[in-house]
Amino acid sequence: MAINSDVLVIGGGLAGLTSALKAAREGADVRLVSYKQSSLRHASGLVDLLGYTPDGEGPVTDPYAAMGDLHDAHPYKTVGVETVREAMGLFDDVTDYRGDHTDTNALVPTHGGTVKPTARYPTGAAAGLASDDRDVLLVGLESMVDFDAPHAAAHLEAAGVPFDVRGETIRFPGDLQADAKITRYAKLLDTNGEVAVRGRKKGARDALAERVNTVREKEARVGFPAILGDDHTDAVRAALEEKIGADVFEVPMGPPSLPGLRLEDRLFEALDESGASFETGNPVVDFDADGDTIETVYIEKNGAKIPNSADQYVLATGGLVGKGIESDRESVHEPIFDCHIEHGEDRYEWFDGDAFGDHPFASFGVETDETLRPLTASDSVEFENLRAAGSVLGGYDFAAEKSGSGVSIATGYVAGENAAAEAR
Amino acid sequence: MSDAQSPTDFDPVEPNTGEDFEPVDVFPDSNDFDLRPGADSCFKCSVCDTNCPVAEVDDDFPGPKFQGPEQWRLKQTDDDYEIDDSVMSCSNCMRCDNACPSGVPLSQMHNTARGEYVENQMSKTDLEYWRNRILSNYRLSASIASKVPRLATWGMNFGPARWLMEKTMGVTKERDFPDFATQTFREWWAERGGADASRRNAQQRREELGLDRNADKKVAYFHGCYSNYNTVDVAKAMVRVYEHYGYEVVAPEQKCSGTPMFANGMLEDARRHAEVNVSSMSDLVDQGYDAIASCTSCSMALRQEYPELFDIDGIEKVSSNTFEAVEYLRIHEDVKEDVQEAQVSGELAEEFAYHAPCHARNQGLERQSVELFRDLEGAGIEDVGESCSGISGTYGWKEEKYEKSMEIGEEMFDHMEHAEGEVGMTECPTCAMQMEHGTGYEIRHPLELLEAAIVE
Ligand SMILES: Cc1cc2nc3c(=O)[nH]c(=O)nc-3n(C[C@H](O)[C@H](O)[C@H](O)COP(=O)(O)OP(=O)(O)OC[C@H]3O[C@@H](n4cnc5c(N)ncnc54)[C@H](O)[C@@H]3O)c2cc1C
Ligand code: SF4
Ligand code: SF4
């Protein structure tokens, strides 16, 4: 006896969530199991399709058009451009992200003061786009050293944005500790919790708006680091907009990332609505196979191994950060099924001498057939009922191309669709 | 940011404590609190901090990254470094554990740090120390109170007495003490005929199910203090459901799981109780029993905290053979199909607002009740979201923490009130207290609904 489903997805990042969602929508009985929280909590919360070509050219204006020129081993080539569009359709359907009105990349200012080409952005970032020509005030917080507003403003000016931008640093009302957690700010704003300002109690939203009003000149848009609420972020933004009298946006931040966290929550909610099951907190560590068919995988819980069985499996365990791929001095490997990963014999071939060079390790990952089944060294299918999706795949370098979320969504979609079709 | 800052090698099964790592045997014969190997794999991403419900409401609480890896680093470089007293504000919800992509054993670090703090830095004549000690030794108070349940229930909630408790002891007067059952589970169990009766019931049931009369289906029930003294119906439901599937149940000698003691740094107390529990459970595991708990903090303690903190004979064996009650049935029985075919009527035909306790979340069980009951005819279940209830065992009973505990719980109360049902459901007895306190709803345990659904 074991816990059974039609499709079992291993990994709860963008790729795993998308494949589980797609498979469930195709009518399969789906179960997703994931170890830790995904790399979305480290990511900006922006969804990039393709920002730069593999040769480093860009920013790319139309990512779909640029996909045609990718090399054949690239996951976008495997699944096809039309499928990438369909997959983004599913993403748009379950989130309230913006950017779906056009094929063109949007340009979003980042906390470092660069402008990033991205395909989809959270509603909260919408008023900040660099293609808009209204003037911008960036507001930094004394206690949040990760976002230096005057510095970011100067960078944006230097990047040639078509508007004036100024940065001011203020104290978050209530004088929080220098190392206050981002969730502390978010909670205070979510609940409009009381803070003490010169001995008087005030709602956090009101007090923050008042402080901004003392430094705002005539800018039509005000950008904050991404801390504006967690559960009620739209309400927080609306309240600030009303009290400041300007559009308010969030600038995506480095880890830990509230927008990434909110996206993760939203996708799990959608998965729940689709009727799928999920479980997080414990890793898959082992499996049983009959020939080239996987029969059961085992989840490890403090020494006990819990069997989970399915017809079809999707491997979406992430790359080096998600622990879907591991490396030691001798080799690079995929730890659950030991799927083949092509890499040079000599570990000195894994990276480039130049720190910012073209590192082979960045594209390490499993290679697949066109239905995303991992292949062995001799190009035969590893297991007939296993598919792979997301950053466990090889053939692309998401950090250089700015294609991370797009590849995860597109390949997750295809893996989920194929798995559901095969599961009977 | 790039992907290149990947943390070091890491085995998903073992927390990242390095090759030579041995469980830190905190008391009594070792003073070695060194958890440096785990601290070294922290790459300061702060993801753990985003999961901490206390840091979310308490500006003075520096969060899990500080309590764990950073504090251990400070300790390593400065011989005179004293554990920061903020460690006493950690509620031991263990949410940070679940977050760390690098496998840093955060809650283990906090538990050890707290143990050291209480041992070396806290005055044993302090009221706070005694208040914490009394709160964490709930079992003792409960065993006395259960001798005179009605009087105790009344006395513990008698206004002037509660005022005095708050003033002198720092136990909040805002909360109602739980009712004590007029008959404890163990009294009921003995009266019913104990293990022998359970064996007969199981054998008879196996025959009805067409199984081998002597099939090897047996579990040792770790009922914990709460279902023994307070929610006895939960323990009875557990027995009936298991017997329904043909399991023989034994209820071995046991003490407190130690959960409230870990959270208060009373590691010596916890160890004494753990020794009794491990010894009786490991004997049974040797005879082919699995250990089953109906409280998720109890199963968490046996599974994770014991082997992390203590080096007791047989502990690994007990840990890897301990399961939460519903989880075990999901693995070994067709419980899902049975529930799909069942229907409930009467008292438990309700819409339930379900809250997953933090300690269920940590065992990967946060969804199982929702998934099990969503197809049950006659009842409904709705997940009220991922927030912590805020009580965290003894945390919400402390006068100075009460407000924060309610602030943490706010989101859950809110979601409960928006949910369709007006009856709550959870596996954790203290979460149940908080749910009831914040909404006035009656709270049930999944085992009670399971019993209503499948046991005639
Ligand atoms: C710092 C950083 C910044 C980024 N910024 C951006 C950005 O701005 N825009 C963009 O588009 N992309 C960005 N990305 C990339 C993007 O986040 C990822 O490419 C994408 O989210 C990967 O999704 P995934 O599902 O493939 O893997 P992951 O998100 O890594 O998820 C893998 C999941 O599998 C689980 N897992 C691993 N092993 C096991 C096991 N044995 N059993 C069960 N579960 C397991 C993990 O716990 C994890 O939850 C960034 C990434 C990082 C690290
Ligand atoms: S155990 Fe809970 S309260 Fe304590 S530091 Fe971790 S997340 Fe915070
Ligand atoms: S999540 Fe882990 S690696 Fe990140 S800061 Fe916390 S302990 Fe360190």
Give the pLDDT confidence of A143-176 residue by residue, as tens digits: 888 899 999 999 999 999 999 999 999 999 988 8
> Mind listing the domains of chain A with CATH numbers?
3-99+261-423 (3.50.50.60), 111-251 (3.40.50)
Residue A242 exposed, middle or buried by CB count within 10 Å (0-12, 13-18, 19+):
exposed
Instruction: Check whether B44 has a pLDDT greater than 50.
Output: yes
Residue B344 has a pLDDT of 96
pLDDT at B133: 81
For residues A235 and A240, give the distance between their C-alpha atoms in angstroms, rounded to a whole number: 9
Q: How far apart are alpha carbons B319 and B303 in whole angstroms?
A: 4
Task: Determine the Cα–Cα distance for residues A228 and A240; give it in Å rounded to an integer.
Answer: 10
B92 touching chain A per CB within 8 A: no
Q: How confident is the model at residue B38 (pLDDT cuts 50, 70, 90)?
A: confident
d(CA B159, CA B375): 45
Among the partner residues A255, A322, A391, nearest to B46 by beta-carbon distance: A255
User: Does the pLDDT value for residue B53 go beyond 90?
Assistant: yes
Q: Is the pLDDT of residue A127 over 70?
A: yes
| Helix (H/G/I), strand (E/B), else coil: A409 | helix
pLDDT of res. A137:
98
pLDDT in tens, A248-264: 999 999 889 999 999 99
Please judge whether B101 and A323 are an interchain contact, meaning their C-beta atoms are less than 8 angstroms apart: yes
Q: Is the CB of A238 under 6 A from ligand 1?
A: no
Q: Using one digit for the tens of pLDDT, what is the confidence trace for B182-228?
A: 899 999 999 999 999 999 999 999 999 999 999 999 999 999 988 99
The 3-state secondary structure of chain B reads CCCCCCCCCCCCCCCCCCCCCCCCCCCCCCCCCCCHHHHHCCCCCCHHHHCCHHHHHCCCCCCHHHHHHHHHHHHHHCCCCCCCHHHHHCCCCCHHHHHCCCCCCHHHHHHHHHHHHHHHHCCCCCHHHHHHHHHHCHHHHHHHHCCCHHHHHHHHCCHHHHHHHHHHHCECCCCCCCCCCCCCHHHHHHHHCHHHHHHHHHHHHHHHHCCCCCCCCEEEEECHHHHHHCCHHHHHHHHHHHHHCCCEEECCCCCCCCHHHHHCCCHHHHHHHHHHHHHHHHHHHHCCCEEEECCHHHHHHHHHHHHHHCCCCCHHHHHHCEEEHHHHHHHHCCHHHHHHHCECCHHHCCEEEECCCHHHHCCCCCCHHHHHHCCCECCEEEECCCCCCCCCCCHHHECCCHHHHHHHHHHHHHHHHHCCCCEEECCCHHHHHHHHHHHCCEEECHHHHHHHHHCC
For A10-28, how does the pLDDT look when each residue is reduced to its tens digit (9 = 90+)?
999 999 999 999 999 999 9
The model's confidence at residue B143, banded by pLDDT at 50, 70 and 90, is: low
User: What pLDDT digit, counting tens, does each position of A88-102 carry?
Assistant: 999 999 999 999 999
Q: What is the pLDDT of residue B73?
A: 85
Do B335-451 and B36-120 have the same topology in CATH? Answer: no
pLDDT of residue A352: 59
- The partner residue sitting opposite B304, judged by closest CB among A2, A255, A302, is A302
Residue A159 touches partner B, C-beta closer than 8 Å: no
Give the Cα separation of B269 and B133 in Å (integer): 9
pLDDT single digits (tens) B297-347: 999 999 999 999 999 999 999 999 999 999 999 999 999 999 999 999 999
In the prediction, which pLDDT does A118 show?
97
pLDDT bin (cut points 50, 70, 90) of residue B3 is very low
Selected from 3.40.50.720, 3.10.129.10, 1.10.1060.10, 3.40.50.740, the CATH number assigned to the domain covering B36-120 reads 1.10.1060.10
State the residue for tokens 């980042």: A110
Residue B366 touches partner A, C-beta closer than 8 Å: yes
* Ligand 3 closest atom vs CA B106: 7
Measure in Å the smallest separation between the Cα of B264 and chain A Cα atoms. Answer: 24
- Residue B333: phi and psi, rounded to 5, are -130, 165
Count of residues in chain A: 424
The whole-number pLDDT of residue B7 equals 40
Could you tell me if residue A250 is left (phi over 0), alpha (psi between -120 and 50 degrees) or otherwise beta? beta
Which range has highest mean pLDDT (A327-336, B26-35, B308-317)? Answer: B308-317
State the average pLDDT for chain B: 87
Q: Please give the pLDDT value at position A331.
A: 78
Nearest CA to ligand 3 atom 8: B42
Q: Which of A245, A336, A27 is nearest to B12 (CA)?
A: A336
- How distant is the Cα of B180 from the closest Cα of chain A, in angstroms? 34
| Rounded distance between C-alpha atoms, residue B106 and residue B95, angstroms | 9
Contact A72, A80 (CB under 8 A): no
ipTM: 0.89
Give the gap in angstroms from C-alpha A1 to the nearest C-alpha of chain B.
5
Query: Is pLDDT of A42 > 90?
Result: no
- pLDDT at B100 > cutoff 60: yes
Of A324, A272, A280, nearest in space to A299 by CA: A280
Tokens of B78: 């400065």
For chain A, percent of residues with pLDDT exceeding 70: 94
Q: What six digits make up the tokens of B411?
A: 């989101």
DSSP type of residue A243 = H
Q: What number is the average pLDDT over the span B392-397?
A: 84
The pLDDT score that the predictor gives to residue B1 is 37
Q: For chain A, say whether B144 makes contact (Cβ under 8 Å).
A: no
Q: In chain B, which residue's Cα lies nearest the Cα of A307?
A: B331
In this structure, what token pair is assigned to residue B400? 């100075």
Measured over the CA atoms of residue B370, residue B376, residue B379 and residue B380, the dihedral's sign is: positive
pLDDT bracket for residue B30 (50, 70, 90): very low
For residue A224, report the phi and psi dihedrals to the nearest 5 degrees.
-115, 155
Assigned CATH for B335-451: 3.40.50
Give residue limits of the domains in chain B.
36-120, 185-332, 335-451
Residue A272: list chain B partners with CB under 8 A: 383
- φ/ψ region of A222 (left if φ > 0, alpha if ψ in -120 to 50, else beta) reads beta
Structure-model confidence comparison of residues A104 and B393, the more confident one: A104
Half-sphere exposure of B123 (CA within 13 A, CB side): 4
Q: What is the pLDDT of residues A256-300, one digit of tens each?
A: 999 999 999 999 999 999 999 999 999 999 999 999 999 999 999
Of B2, B331, B407, the CB nearest to A306: B331
* A/B interface, count of CB pairs below 8 Å: 146
The larger pLDDT score, comparing residue A347 to residue A303, is at A303
The whole-number pLDDT of residue B324 equals: 97
Which pLDDT value is given to residue B36?
A: 58
The whole model's pTM is what?
A: 0.91
Q: What is the pLDDT of residue A349?
A: 63
**Could you tell me the two tokens for B24?**
């830190």
* Whole-angstrom distance, CA of residue B180 vs CA of residue A313: 49
CA of B9 to the centre of ligand 2 (A): 25
* Stretch B426-433: mean pLDDT: 94
Beta-carbon contacts of residue B191 (< 8 Å; ≥ 6 apart): B183
Q: What is the pLDDT of residue B27?
A: 46
Among the residue ranges A116-130, B123-137, B425-439, the one predicted with the least confidence is B123-137
Q: How far is the CA of A408 from the centre of ligand 1 (A)?
A: 8
Can you tell me which atom of ligand 2 is nearest the CA of B67?
5
- Cβ distance A301 to B330 less than 8 Å, yes or no, reads no
The model's pLDDT over A170-208, given as tens digits with 9 standing for 90+, comes to 999 988 888 888 999 999 999 999 999 888 999 999 999
Structure tokens that stand for A9 in this block = 């997805």
**Res. B175 pLDDT band, cuts 50 70 90:** confident
Which segment, A82-86, A175-179, B22-26, B345-349, is predicted with the most confidence on average? A82-86
Q: Which of A302, A327, A337 best tests the B interface by mutation, with the highest count of B CBs <10 A?
A: A302
Query: What are the pLDDT digits (tens) for B244-289?
Result: 999 999 999 999 998 988 888 899 999 999 999 999 999 999 999 9
Q: Cβ–Cβ of B2/A399 closer than 8 Å?
A: yes
Residue type, B435: M
Instruction: Give the pLDDT of residue B151.
Output: 63
Check whether A356 has a pLDDT greater than 70: no
- pLDDT value of position B153: 66
Q: Is B20 on the interface with A (CB under 8 A)?
A: no
CA angle A210, A212, A214 (to 5 degrees): 75
- Helix, coil or strand: residue A138: strand
What is the atom index within ligand 3 of the atom nearest the CA of B99?
Answer: 1
From A39, A107, A118, A301, the mutation candidate for ligand 1 (largest count of ligand atoms within 8 A of CB) is A39
- The verdict on B422 touching A (C-beta cutoff 8 Å) is no
| Cα B2 to ligand 3 centroid, rounded to whole Å | 17
Q: What percent of chain B has pLDDT over 90?
A: 64
Across the beta sheet with B380-383, what order do the strands follow?
B380-383, B351-354, B423-425, B442-444
Measured between alpha carbons, how far is A373 from A315 in angstroms, rounded to an integer? 10
Q: What confidence score (pLDDT) does residue A359 get?
A: 61
Q: Which of B8, B43, B47 to mutate to test the interface with A (most CBs of A within 10 A)?
A: B47
pLDDT in tens, B123-139: 888 888 888 887 777 67
Minimal C-alpha gap between A2 and chain B (Å): 5
Q: What CA–CA distance (Å, rounded) separates B310 from B306?
A: 6
Question: What is residue B31's predicted lDDT score, i.e. its pLDDT?
Answer: 47
Stretch (H or E) spanning A15: helix A14-25
pLDDT digits (tens, 9 = 90+) for A220-244: 999 999 999 999 999 999 999 999 9
